[in-house]
Structure 1
């Protein structure tokens, strides 16, 4: 039986270079990515750091991961995922950074919660 190895999981940081907390998260993720690449026991992942605003499809996906309870952590002052999407479409500046997204496993960590980000990375399946 032939097995195909799956590609690396993709972790995206929606980054804001002017934000000290975002810079801290970016540096921590870079270090975690290097450590994973050098270790046989840690799952490697593809790190994508972007200052671009998410697309409407990406924001919809992110909101599906966090649900109504997490909507305000993604879009400022939103009380539900639907309201968050509406606010985002009206004004993308409501989008909150830093925001780390594990696209393959449907997880999101808003802000600079280092322990939650590391927990997300440690939970990645091994390639």
Structure 2
């Protein structure tokens, strides 16, 4: 019960967009995430005012959107690569593996590929602008067994 209470009413899920304003794909992803967040807030309000059956939907009710133009820290990059199954070249231009990605990021932050959307709570990430993948990430909720 505590997990359920904390998960629903405690800290919000945070989704981070690593953004580059002059990149058209990144701007489209930012718009998509802003719209999804606005809809989730509207649905959460509707659900609170209506029956409790509506809250059983397999969709996240709210999330906090964090937009940053900075590249990730080394620790964040390690997590992102883990979330993506080690696909270093999707995240760092020309990288062959995690250690190469970390080296390239430290040498030049511009090698980091944007847009990149990360759900830190669920341990998932989407590299690029795939609307369907991003919306699947935004709409999914962590399983109760995944919460600590």
Deviation at 1:100, TM superposition (A): 0.4
Cα deviation digits, residues 61-95 of structure 1 (max 9, x gap): 21222233x11111011121221112111211110
Partner of 2:18: 14
* Structure 1 portions without partners, runs of 5+: none
Are 1:107 and 2:102 matched, yes or no? no
> Which residue of the partner structure matches residue 46 of structure 1?
64
**What is the TM-score when the length of structure 2 is the normalising length?**
0.77
Contact 1:15 1:22 in 2 (8 A): yes
Which of 72, 78, 82 is equivalent to 1:60? 78
Select the structure that is richer in helix.
2
SS in 1 for 2:85: helix
| Cα deviation digits, residues 4-50 of structure 1 (max 9, x gap) | 33321100000000011100000000000000001135421000111
Is 1:76 aligned to residue 76 of structure 2?
Answer: no
Alignment size in residue pairs: 125
Q: Counterpart in 1 of 2:133? A: 116
| Backbone CA RMSD of aligned residues | 1.8
Matches of 1:119 and 1:75 in 2, distance apart?
23
CA distance in 2, matches of 1:84, 1:26: 25
Larger radius of gyration: 2
* Displacement over 4 Å in runs of 4+: none
